[in-house]
Structure 1
Amino acid sequence: MARAPSIVRESLKVRVQSGFKNPLVVRDGEGCYIKDVDNKKYLDFHSIVCTNNVGYGRPELKEVIKQYSKRGVYKIDGTFFYTEEALILAKKVLKTLPHSLKKVFFINSGAEAVENAIKLVYSKKGPYTGVCMENAFHGRTLGALTFTNSKSIHKRNFPMFPHHELQFCSEKDYCRYKELEDLIVREVTPAFVIMECVQGEGGYRPASKAFVQYLRKITKEHDIAFIIDEIQSGMGRTGKWWSFEHYNVVPDIMTAAKSLQVGATITSAQYDVNKEEIGSISSTWGGGHLIDLAMGSAVMDIIQKENLVKNAERMGKYMLNRFKEIQMKYPGKIIDARGLGLMIGVEMDNKHRQQKIIDAAFKGKLLLLGASEKTIRIAPPMVIDEATADKGIEILEKLIKKY
Structure 2
Amino acid sequence: MDNAHLNEMKKKYVANGAASANPQFAHKSENALVWDADGNRLIDFAGGIGVLNIGHCHPKVVKAVQEQVGNMMHTCQTVMPYEGYVRVAEKLSGVVPVRGHGKVMLVNSGAEALENAVKIARASTGKTNVICFDGSYHGRTFMTMAMNGKVAPYAGDFGSMPGTVFRAPYPVPAHGVSEEEAIRGLKMALKTDANPRDTAAIVIEPVLGEGGFHPAPASFLKAIREICDEHGMLMIVDEVQSGFGRTGKMFAIEHSGVEPDLMTMAKSMAAGMPISAIVGTDKHMDASGPGSLGGTYAGSPASCAAVLAVFEVFEQENILGKSQAVGEKLEKRFSQWEKQFDCVENSRHLGAMAAFDLVTADGTPDADLTAALCKRVREKGLILLSCGLFGNTIRFLMPVTIEEELLEEGLGIIESSLAELTNQTASSRNVSMA
Q: Shorter-chain TM-score: which interval?
A: over 0.9
In structure 2, the partner of 1:180 is: 186
Q: CA deviation at 1:174?
A: 1.9
Change (3 A) 1:101 1:315: farther
- 2:347 aligned with 1:337, yes or no? yes
Q: CA deviation at 1:69?
A: 4.3
In structure 1, the partner of 2:279 is: 266
Q: How many residues align?
A: 398
The two structures have a TM-score, normalised by structure 2, of: 0.88
Counterpart CA distance in 1 for 2:121 and 2:358 is 39
In structure 2, the partner of 1:293 is: 304
- The residue identity in structure 2 corresponding to 1:15 is V
- The residue identity in structure 2 corresponding to 1:10 is M
In structure 2, the partner of 1:207 is: 216
Counterpart CA distance in 2 for 1:100 and 1:356 is 48
In structure 1, the partner of 2:295 is: 283
- 2:200 aligned with 1:191, yes or no? yes
Contact 2:248–2:350 under 8 Å retained in 1: yes
Q: CA deviation at 1:185?
A: 3.6
Counterpart CA distance in 1 for 2:317 and 2:67 is 23
Counterpart CA distance in 2 for 1:365 and 1:158 is 41
Counterpart CA distance in 2 for 1:63 and 1:153 is 37
Give the counterpart of 1:323 among 330, 334, 351.
Answer: 334
Q: CA deviation at 1:23?
A: 1.4
Counterpart CA distance in 2 for 1:128 and 1:69 is 40
In structure 2, the partner of 1:355 is: 371
| Deviations 1:12-51 (CA, angstroms, capped at 9, x unpaired) | 2111121312012112112211112222111000111011
Mean Cα deviation higher: 129-138 or 58-67: 58-67
Contact 2:130–2:165 under 8 Å retained in 1: yes
- 2:398 aligned with 1:383, yes or no? no
Q: What SS class does the counterpart of residue 277 from structure 2 fall into?
A: strand
Q: CA deviation at 1:152?
A: 2.8
In structure 2, the partner of 1:367 is: 383
Q: What root-mean-square deviation, in Å, do the aligned CA atoms of Structure 1 and Structure 2 show?
A: 1.7
Counterpart CA distance in 2 for 1:282 and 1:66 is 25
Mean Cα deviation higher: 321-330 or 194-203: 321-330
In structure 2, the partner of 1:398 is: 416
Mean Cα deviation higher: 146-155 or 115-124: 146-155
| Deviations 1:241-268 (CA, angstroms, capped at 9, x unpaired) | 0000011101100000011131101111
Matches within 5 A, 1:3-22: 3-17=2-16, 18-22=18-22
Contact 1:170–1:208 under 8 Å retained in 2: no
Q: What SS class does the counterpart of residue 149 from structure 2 fall into?
A: coil
Q: CA deviation at 1:115?
A: 0.3
In structure 1, the partner of 2:425 is: none
In structure 2, the partner of 1:223 is: 232
| Deviations 1:271-316 (CA, angstroms, capped at 9, x unpaired) | 1224x622222211112x1111101111121122101111101211
Counterpart CA distance in 2 for 1:191 and 1:382 is 36
In structure 1, the partner of 2:81 is: 82
Counterpart CA distance in 2 for 1:316 and 1:101 is 32
Contact 2:169–2:186 under 8 Å retained in 1: no
Counterpart CA distance in 1 for 2:186 and 2:351 is 29
Counterpart CA distance in 2 for 1:67 and 1:223 is 46
Q: What SS class does the counterpart of residue 153 from structure 2 fall into?
A: helix
Counterpart CA distance in 2 for 1:321 and 1:151 is 34
Contact 1:256–1:265 under 8 Å retained in 2: yes
Contact 1:137–1:147 under 8 Å retained in 2: yes
| Deviations 1:123-151 (CA, angstroms, capped at 9, x unpaired) | 12345221000010000111111111234
- The residue identity in structure 2 corresponding to 1:314 is A
- 2:133 aligned with 1:133, yes or no? yes
Contact 1:240–1:309 under 8 Å retained in 2: yes
Contact 1:52–1:259 under 8 Å retained in 2: yes
The two structures have a TM-score, normalised by structure 1, of: 0.94
Contact 2:247–2:323 under 8 Å retained in 1: yes
In structure 1, the partner of 2:51 is: 51
Contact 1:311–1:383 under 8 Å retained in 2: yes
Contact 1:43–1:367 under 8 Å retained in 2: yes
Q: CA deviation at 1:357?
A: 0.5
Contact 2:45–2:383 under 8 Å retained in 1: yes
Change (3 A) 1:182 1:77: same
Q: CA deviation at 1:328?
A: 1.4
Give every structure 1 segment of 4 or more consecutive aligned residues whose post-TM-superposition deviation is greater than 6 Å. none
